[in-house]
Amino acid sequence: MTRSPRTLSLVLTASLAPSLAAQAPARPAAPTEEATIQRFRAHAAPRPVAPQAPLSAEERNTIRRFKEAKSSVVYVSAIAPGIDLRTQDITKVPQGQGTGFVWDEWGHIVTNHHIITVDEQGKRLGDVDEVEITLANGKTYKGRVIGYSFAYDIAVLQAFAPLPAMRPIPIGSSRNLQVGQSVMAIGNPFGLDHSLSKGVISALGREIGTDYSTRITDAIQTDAAVNPGNSGGPLLDSGGRLIGVNTAIAAATGASVGIGFAIPVDTLNRVVPRLIAQRFLVPERMGFDTLNAAVALKTFGIQRGLVVSQVDPDTPAGQAGIRPLKLDGQGGILALGDILLAYQGRPIESNGQLMAMLELEPPADEVVFDVLREGQVIKVTLQLKPAKKAQPASI
């Protein structure tokens, strides 16, 4: 049987197909993940550095101002005596940390009062006397609290450091500040020294509360990040001048939410020199001392008012008949004396609150206390100005 050419072609093609397939190269298997990793390791090398763009004028100014101000900013650690439970030795116990800055060439440091306070379970019990001050160069020196204000939450420290190392911060004014102008905050947030944050003035003329039921007026509000540890640090304008001291944040969780407050520098410039000169803003001495709140609570269970512990006879309190604790011959307490419940009609919650009220409203010629005495509340008037002596009649 004769095959047609077309049929023959088909037969030849079919017969050759197995041999051609055998000659074709096999398809490579897909690389494994490990093989890919090893192959790409060979390309490990430093990345080329892209050309740096020039810093803007604003960036250059911020860098310059931070470098200039850094040497004026210090780290403050409040120290109180404590007992080592293992050895029963008296030891130093850190109570609080924050920021401060060099005020003048005589080694005075300004910070917040709440940094140097001792508290327990949220209740302020008193102030420390000794502090440690760490300068920008990392060296730590002893310091002493030489003045403080309850009403303004300001404290002044004396640093026992070489005066050449103390660089005073330039002082500006808060009188002509405007909402929207740039500000810089320098501090030690969460113990991280010399941190810079930047923002703007968000508002002026704010009122912020203190721990002593008083209000600081004309406070500066800023969105520059202010966190725990920034307290007591400087708020600077774009020229690097001090315009406020960072004091408080508005936050329900204790972390910054972009609302910080600073005491204006004009207030500092009025208050700080007086604290350096006379320790307190209120020079008037009424002539009585009161027990520490913790002692009054533990000893007598007193939760309200101030327990009078001592009265000097030749003072307004002594002349008004304020009664102190009754003591035995060995100094033991026999009985309570007077408990001061209110000053000028306003309840007294703590020593600090009373001092704050006296700072904000200097006492007049006489003041009135509501006093709890032998179970009865009475009013006692203290004459703060000595009575004028009668002049002899002319003959």
> What are the catalytic residues?
114, 153, 231
- Enumerate residues 6+ apart whose C-beta is below 8 A from 125: 117, 118, 119, 292, 293, 294
Q: Are 148 and 113 in contact (CB under 8 A)?
A: yes
Picking from 380, 311, 373, the residue whose alpha carbon sits closest to that of residue 344 is 380
**Residue 43 burial (CB count, 10 A):** 6
CA pair distance 47, 374, nearest whole angstrom: 83
Please report which helix (H) or strand (E) contains residue 69, including its range.
helix 57-70
Measured between alpha carbons, how far is residue 336 from residues 79, 163, 168, 351 in Å?
32, 49, 49, 18
CA pair distance 226, 113, nearest whole angstrom: 17
CA pair distance 84, 87, nearest whole angstrom: 6
Q: Are 282 and 362 in contact (CB under 8 A)?
A: yes
Report the DSSP pairing between strands 123-127 and 117-120: antiparallel
> 376: which strand partners?
373
Picking from 152, 278, 163, the residue whose alpha carbon sits closest to that of residue 219 is 152
Percent helix, percent strand, percent coil in the chain, to nearest 5: 25, 35, 40
CA pair distance 230, 199, nearest whole angstrom: 15
Q: Are 232 and 110 in contact (CB under 8 A)?
A: yes
CA angle 390, 393, 395 (to 5 degrees): 165
In angstroms, the first-to-last Cα distance of the chain is 177
Backbone φ, ψ for residue 68 (5° rounding): -70, -40
